[in-house]
Structure 1
Amino acid sequence: MDGEAWTGLAATSVHGDLVVGEMTGVRAAYRGRGVSVAMKAYGMAFARTHGARKVRTFHHPANASAIAMNRTMGFIDADGSDR
């Protein structure tokens, strides 16, 4: 939030020992300021409090900014091709 204005929204869900980062979206005027990383970090804290052993997320394969942000957070491709 920026005062009363929404800057972004993220959704995280728990499925047993798996936590899924369902979506992360940031309003255009707030992009490039670390908002998505902050929201994703909050989601990781949520995962820890729920004892998650696995955390997964997904993105459109052409969304370079989402891919970069997820890699910044330590996510790897399911097939390991990003290593």
Structure 2
Amino acid sequence: MISLDGDTWCGLAATSDRRGAGCVFNEMTGVTRPYRGRGLSIAMKTYGMRFAGLCGVDRVRTVHHPENTAAIEMNRRLGYVDADWD
């Protein structure tokens, strides 16, 4: 999914089908600096999470750098929990 302001790219969120692992995977979510702090990441990530339903699974997984506190906070607000992925 991409977020646009007219012809200007604001953000990107990519989610992949991992039904073999029983989930979909949020590959990445990013918003360009001028558009940060406006809720675009949450909007794109939430919309992308609907993809799980289309794939017939009820889990979405993601990873992030442990020092990326903004991503950790956003993911927790969306209901993600820390877990080992085997």
Query: What CA deviation, in whole Å up to 9, does each residue of 1:7-62 have, x standing for no partner?
Result: 10011000113100000010000111000000100111111121113210111000
User: Sequence identity of aligned pairs in percent?
Assistant: 58
Q: Which has the higher strand share?
A: 2
TM-score (norm 1): 0.89
Decide which of 57, 75, 83 is 1:78's aligned counterpart: 83
Q: TM-score, normalised by structure 2?
A: 0.86
Q: Which runs of 5+ in 2 are unaligned?
A: none
**Aligned residue in 2 for 1:63:** 68
> Are residues 1:6 and 2:18 paired?
no
Q: Any stretches of 5+ residues in structure 1 without a counterpart?
A: none
Q: CA RMSD in A?
A: 1.1
Cross-structure match for 1:41 = 46
Query: Following superposition, which runs of at least 4 residues in structure 1 exceed 2 angstroms of deviation?
Result: none
Count of matched residue positions in the alignment of Structure 1 and Structure 2? 79
